Amino acid sequence: MTITDLITPSSILWGLEGASKKRVLEMASHAIAGQHPSLEADAIFSGLINRERLGSTGIGEGVAIPHCRLGNCDEALGYLIKLDTPIDFDAIDGQPVDLLFILTVPEEACEQHLNTLASLAENFGRASFRDGLRACTSASSLYDAVQQSAH
């Protein structure tokens, strides 16, 4: 799946304020669970935090791609987050993160999960893509920018 397959206007979290990685993941987990009643915020948060314990999902250049597989998840879900203020995310390059893409997939979707992560990393690896997202001034403009510039 590509980023454009995963997001909808309602899966953009614009201007989220979080003082820490843990707090941002917690707030995002509640937002995801609020839109998907079959998922529990605690299970999402636990999955994301457990994955972070294996190693940071901060891929560099101010971007993180937190992800996890969930047993009660029926389909891949993506959430794009633009933080008001960058936070420390233990990223590979040591830079603070202001763009996050949270991916949750069904527990059995191993290959799909890896292919989707590769596609996300490719998009976020392009400076023009990141710069375009950072230039946005609203959730709707962020959604439109992804639709227009993602591969």
Domain ranges of the chain: 3-149
* CA gap 47, 70 in Å, rounded: 7
What is the tens place of the pLDDT at every residue in 85-132? 999 999 999 999 999 999 999 988 777 778 899 999 999 999 999 999
Alpha-carbon Rg of the chain, whole angstroms?
A: 14
pLDDT category at 36 given cuts 50, 70, 90 is very high
Let me know if 67 is a catalytic residue: yes
What pLDDT score does 143 carry? Answer: 96
What is the CATH number that goes with domain 3-149?
3.40.930.10
pLDDT value of residue 114: 86
pLDDT of residue 136: 95
Higher pLDDT, 133 or 112: 133
Whole-number average pLDDT of the chain: 93
- Residue 13 bridge partners (DSSP): 81
pLDDT band at 42 (very low <50, low <70, confident <90, very high): very high
Active-site position among 30, 36, 67, 151? 67
Contact between 118 and 132 (Cβ < 8 Å):
no
pLDDT at 24 over 90: yes
What integer pLDDT is reported at residue 132 of this predicted model?
96
